[in-house]
Structure 1
Amino acid sequence: MPIKNVQIPSTSPITSPRCYIGLTQWQHAAWQDNFLERSSHVHVLQAYARHFSSVEGNTTFYGLPKQSTVEQWYKESSEQFRFCFKFPQEISHHRQLTHCKNETLQLFERLAPLQEKLGLLCIQLPAAFGPDSLNNLENYLKSLPADWQYAVEIRHPEFFQKGKAEQQLNQLLVSHNCNRISFDTRSLFAHPADDVVSLKAKEHKPQLPVHAISTGQSPMIRFITPLDWKWGAPYLDPWIKKAITWMQAGKTPYFFFHTPDNAEAPQLAAYFVEKLEAALPGCCLFTPWREQSRKQDTLF
């Protein structure tokens, strides 16, 4: 049965092209001496939100935060900020999108205080979730409140072969205005690095083709490079062109940047913004930090 008894946040209409920029987390030990440098009374999320306009909310994949924590996130984030939370793994992995009405309702109720600061709610499905399970996805999407924005990351290889299964998936997502997440790991796997951190990243990240398709209003791209992020920077060029195409079509893309240890993920994001805004000035909801701006001219 559809979940209807949850207050739906309103969103302001988009009047100019915009692209949300974020990382996979809002704090990291390696970031403390640059853009996260702050006084003791400033919350780390507030420092992050001074520069980035979104974040991948992985915490909800493992469990729901306390209500007081959600309320604090709202207070510490800027007006333009958008959280992109994952559905709990209990829903996506353990129950395979079935028999989870109570768990889904709890998620929406817990996130309700964030109101208009919710961006995409993301369903990350396991590699075992294949074409035979598409009915589960269809029924689950039908049950969700219609006024929220959703995105789905699929990892079964058959959904990347441009055959009947992928066509059915894309048509299903389009019919629900649900965004298909693209996870670009090409540069990570193309690099011959054999250090422990890189090998661990290759073990846990999917190695799948990249299909840059937009099935909803807000396409979402997850992009990861090798530890030396500059090595993977050329893989961003097609995404610059795609982002421009999407924004010119009235869409609002979300881009999230990773490295194997995420230590230099902020620099990777800043490089992408510099390249994109050279073509569409002011389109990225992103504010550079002083240390980064001094180094921009000497990156290559």
Structure 2
Amino acid sequence: MWTHKSWQGRLLAHPLPAGERLRHYAGWCDAVEGNTTFYATPSRETVATWAAQTDPDFRFVLKLPKVVTHERRLGDVAEPLAAFLTAIEPLGPRAHALWVQLPGSFAPADVPVLARFLRRLPDTYRCAVEVRHPAFFTDAPSTRLLEGVLADATAEWIPFDTTALFQDRPTSDAERDAWTKKPRTPLRTHALTDRPIVRYLGRDDTARTVAGWQHWIDVCVDWLREGRSPTVFVHTPDNADAPVLARRFHDEVRAQVPDLPPLPEPEPVEPLTLF
């Protein structure tokens, strides 16, 4: 996601042609979650415009289409998967990871299907898997089973940290909506590879969002000192200030790891005028 209505004219210039929106976002953050690819595989030409708007070290974490993960549940997916991989080829090194977000019904009994799927992926792409079935978090044998399959494929386990959201009752419409849609999974901070990926969901209140991510600051500092290269996505229920918060998170980590490169400087947004 690199456009949001509340960012327009405030964080990003507005109006912007479609071919420039990602470039302006890339002035705020150096990574993006590709959520739209879940709903439809983009054309190769569209993906080429994404590459043209970003530097080679920009990171795309692209969600696999729902026909692959949810409708066919990783089975009999050769055709839609091949179409997706062909479409994203123009990204080159920007394709940081293929994001396999599995439905909550995908249980430990389904792990052999995941193992077969991962073995068939081309080595040119790294894979990161997000699971939501509670047994993967609460049942030790199920945890070990999934970790073993992911480790064999050099794939990462993406934690989606919603603990701050569910700490107490929602206080806004956006938080109430998130309560009905987001998974309640236990906190997980263990990395399997040198490129861990974290999805963090805070609150609409900035202070509570910042308080909720403090353990991730410590985890990321440790990962960086171990030679890992984490990618962290910061969300709030309304996402109104997500780019600002992402930069604040990066600054807090960089305060402890000064060698971490700074994020780019956003392009200035011209104030709106009456004429």
1:141-220 equivalent positions in 2, closer than 5 A:
141-220=118-197
Residue identity (%): 31
Contact 2:29 2:246 in 1 (8 A): no
* Aligned counterparts of 1:252 and 1:153: Cα–Cα separation in 2: 18
2:100 alignment counterpart: 123
Aligned residue pairs total 268
* Aligned counterparts of 2:76 and 2:266: Cα–Cα separation in 1: 46
Tell me how far 1:95 sits from its aligned partner. Answer: 0.7
Taking structure 1 as reference, are residues 192 and 132 closer, same or farther at Cα in structure 2, changes over 3 Å only?
same
* Aligned counterparts of 1:39 and 1:89: Cα–Cα separation in 2: 31
Tell me how far 1:282 sits from its aligned partner. Answer: 4.5
Tell me how far 1:79 sits from its aligned partner. Answer: 2.8
* Aligned counterparts of 1:61 and 1:290: Cα–Cα separation in 2: 29
RMSD between superposed Cα atoms in Å:
1.9
* Aligned counterparts of 2:199 and 2:103: Cα–Cα separation in 1: 16
* Aligned counterparts of 1:290 and 1:277: Cα–Cα separation in 2: 22
Tell me how far 1:111 sits from its aligned partner. Answer: 0.5
* Aligned counterparts of 1:171 and 1:48: Cα–Cα separation in 2: 36
Q: Which has the higher contact order (CA 8 A, sep 6+)?
A: 1
* Aligned counterparts of 1:288 and 1:259: Cα–Cα separation in 2: 22
1:41-120 equivalent positions in 2, closer than 5 A:
43-120=20-97
Q: Does 1:30 align with 2:30?
A: no
* Aligned counterparts of 2:219 and 2:8: Cα–Cα separation in 1: 33
1:243 alignment counterpart: 220
**Unmatched 5+ stretches in structure 2:** 269-275
Q: Does 1:268 align with 2:252?
A: no
1:222 alignment counterpart: 199
Deviations 1:117-144 (A, max 9, x none): 1111100000100011000000000000
1:298 alignment counterpart: none
* Aligned counterparts of 2:197 and 2:169: Cα–Cα separation in 1: 27
Secondary structure at the residue paired with 1:119?
Answer: strand
Tell me how far 1:38 sits from its aligned partner. Answer: 6.2
Tell me how far 1:176 sits from its aligned partner. Answer: 1.1
Deviations 1:267-296 (A, max 9, x none): 2212211211100125155235488xxxxx
Q: 37-46 vs 256-265, which deviates more?
A: 37-46
Tell me how far 1:229 sits from its aligned partner. Answer: 2.6
Q: 169-178 vs 279-288, which deviates more?
A: 279-288
1:9-24 equivalent positions in 2, closer than 5 A:
none
Q: 128-137 vs 214-223, which deviates more?
A: 214-223
Taking structure 1 as reference, are residues 233 and 64 closer, same or farther at Cα in structure 2, changes over 3 Å only?
same
Tell me how far 1:236 sits from its aligned partner. Answer: 1.4
Deviations 1:155-212 (A, max 9, x none): 0000001410111101111111100001111111114224322111111110110111
Aligned letter for 2:9? D
Secondary structure at the residue paired with 1:276?
Answer: helix
* Aligned counterparts of 1:125 and 1:71: Cα–Cα separation in 2: 27
Contact 1:53 1:285 in 2 (8 A): no
Taking structure 1 as reference, are residues 128 and 40 closer, same or farther at Cα in structure 2, changes over 3 Å only?
closer
TM-score by length of 1: 0.84
**Unmatched 5+ stretches in structure 1:** 1-24, 292-300
TM-score by length of 2: 0.92
* Aligned counterparts of 1:58 and 1:261: Cα–Cα separation in 2: 16
Tell me how far 1:39 sits from its aligned partner. Answer: 7.5
2:272 alignment counterpart: none
Secondary structure at the residue paired with 1:186?
Answer: coil
